[in-house]
Amino acid sequence: EATSFAVRVAPLGSHGQVLVLAEDQTERRRVEAVRRDFVANVSHELKTPVGALSLLAETIQDAADDPEAVTRFAGRMQHEAARLNYLVQDLITLSRIQGGEPIPIPGPVPVDEVMHEAVDRCNTKAAAKDITLVAGGTEGLRVWGDDELLVTALRNLIDNAVAYSPEHTRVVVSARPAGESVEISVSDQGIGIPESAQERIFERFFRVDAARSRATGGTGLGLAIVKHVSVAHGGEVAVWSKEGSGSTFTLRLPAFGGTAVTESHSTTTT
């Protein structure tokens, strides 16, 4: 993108001198463009389920004397309403954390609790595809942060692992100490992500395959949420993926107390 300047000229003293102020506005313009794109994207994403809902409502009115059709269309309305609900929930979560500010009241969070809560919420979806969810390796690990946000982030990663994997595969959720951090990974045996897209998947509404994402109920905001949650915690998220063989997402989060292993679980070293 081209560099842009705002130039202001002010008279200076009485000798015909002027003061020229040139302000680099490139960054401000870029931020504005991103915001405009975001609003346009949100409007577009909201229009789809709202449009479907009004169409279905009309159809139901026309089918009033066919109870079977009414039931079927009502089911589809429920499905669209649920999608709308997910989208609004994700938007609310994102607006709470994307300001780049640290989380308000952090505390010590046991990794096994976050992991089990996140896994619990994904179990039904995994079972429907006969995907085995394996979780472990959290013994004594604690991170510094907000438990609800961390569950949200991890749930999004597991949700994706399940959504972009074929039936009868495994998703492994694990954690390990890494210096002053804890690394939590989610590995799948799914479709993978082309290398050219790996940088962009954390952008809001970026999808490798939009049709597929919508079909799996994706809002396109999951990884943006994961990224902002990790940044708000002073951590980061990374992806490793190979098309056709699977993906691993790793959250690296500051350990509680500055060391990954708590007193009671650490072994004495000399």
- CA 229 to each of CA 5, 39, 50, 70, 100: distance values in angstroms, whole numbers, following the listed order: 34, 21, 29, 42, 9
Interface residues toward ligand ADP, by CB under 6 A: 156, 160-161, 164, 188, 190-193, 201, 206-209, 213, 218-224, 247
Least Å distance, CB 45 to ligand ADP, is 10
Least Å distance, CB 172 to ligand ADP, is 12
Least Å distance, CB 201 to ligand ADP, is 4
Q: Which residue is nearest to ligand ADP (CB)?
A: 218
Least Å distance, CB 48 to ligand ADP, is 13
Instruction: State which residue, 38 or 206, has the beta carbon closest to ligand ADP.
Output: 206
Instruction: State which residue, 59 or 169, has the beta carbon closest to ligand ADP.
Output: 169
- CA 166 to each of CA 130, 131, 190: distance values in angstroms, whole numbers, following the listed order: 9, 8, 6
User: Is 25 strand, coil or helix?
Assistant: coil
Are 200 and 206 in contact by the 8 Å Cβ rule? The answer is: yes
Instruction: State which residue, 113 or 203, has the beta carbon closest to ligand ADP.
Output: 203
Rounded Cα distance between 168 and 127, Å, is 9
Instruction: State which residue, 99 or 244, has the beta carbon closest to ligand ADP.
Output: 244
Least Å distance, CB 235 to ligand ADP, is 18
Instruction: State which residue, 55 or 208, has the beta carbon closest to ligand ADP.
Output: 208
Closest CA relative to residue 266, chosen from 107, 145, 141: 141
Least Å distance, CB 231 to ligand ADP, is 15
Instruction: State which residue, 189 or 256, has the beta carbon closest to ligand ADP.
Output: 189
Rounded Cα distance between 46 and 252, Å, is 33
Rounded Cα distance between 21 and 72, Å, is 65
User: Is 37 strand, coil or helix?
Assistant: helix
Are 225 and 152 in contact by the 8 Å Cβ rule? The answer is: yes
Rounded Cα distance between 99 and 107, Å, is 20
